[in-house]
């Protein structure tokens, strides 16, 4: 998967970073780049996390995620807030993988 000699983990990290960049500060001429706006965040959820987030289409769920995440209440998701969101999605997946492995181990 990784093309440039980077490891898969490095490639995955760059993918997450580039995704943030793609959805934040688009078409903005002023020097200070914006975070991800609410509407762009909703687009990201439905375009990019469609399988992982079941009720992506649900506007309230997206808004709740944004409100929970927008710690500094500036109406935008900065990189650290974005990273916490992804971590909030990845953590239960990590537990799921473990439970599956545990159940397979005890079947043998």
Looking up tokens 């209440």 gives: 73
Q: With respect to a copy of itself, which residue has the nearer C-beta, 19 or 61?
A: 19
By the rule CB under 8 A, 64 interacts with a copy of itself: no
Q: Residue 30 CA to chain centroid, in angstroms?
A: 26
Contact characters 16-55, a copy of itself, x per CB under 8 A: xxxxxx---x-----x-x-------------xxxxxx---
Contact characters 71-90, a copy of itself, x per CB under 8 A: --------xx--xx-xx-xx
List the one residue out of 65, 88, 93, 83 whose CA is nearest residue 20: 83
Q: With respect to a copy of itself, which residue has the nearer C-beta, 8 or 60?
A: 8
Structure tokens at 79: 């990189």
Q: With respect to a copy of itself, which residue has the nearer C-beta, 49 or 61?
A: 49
Q: b/e per residue, 59-92, with b = 16+ CB within 10 A?
A: eeebeebbeebbeeeeebbbeebbeebeeeeeee
Which residues form the interface with a copy of itself (CB under 8 A)? Answer: 1, 5-21, 25, 31, 33, 47-52, 79-80, 83-84, 86-87, 89-91, 93-95, 97-98, 101-102
């Amino acid at each position: 998967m990784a093309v440039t000699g980077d490891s898969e983990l490095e490639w995955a990290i760059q993918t997450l970073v580039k995704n943030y960049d793609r959805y934040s500060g688009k078409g903005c001429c002023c020097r200070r780049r914006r975070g991800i706006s609410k509407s762009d965040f909703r687009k990201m959820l439905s375009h990019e996390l469609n399988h992982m987030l079941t009720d992506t289409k649900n506007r309230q769920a997206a808004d709740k995620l944004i409100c929970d995440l927008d710690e500094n209440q500036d109406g935008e998701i900065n990189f650290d807030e974005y990273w916490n969101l992804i971590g909030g999605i990845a953590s239960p997946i990590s537990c799921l993988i473990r439970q599956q492995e545990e159940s397979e181990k005890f079947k043998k």
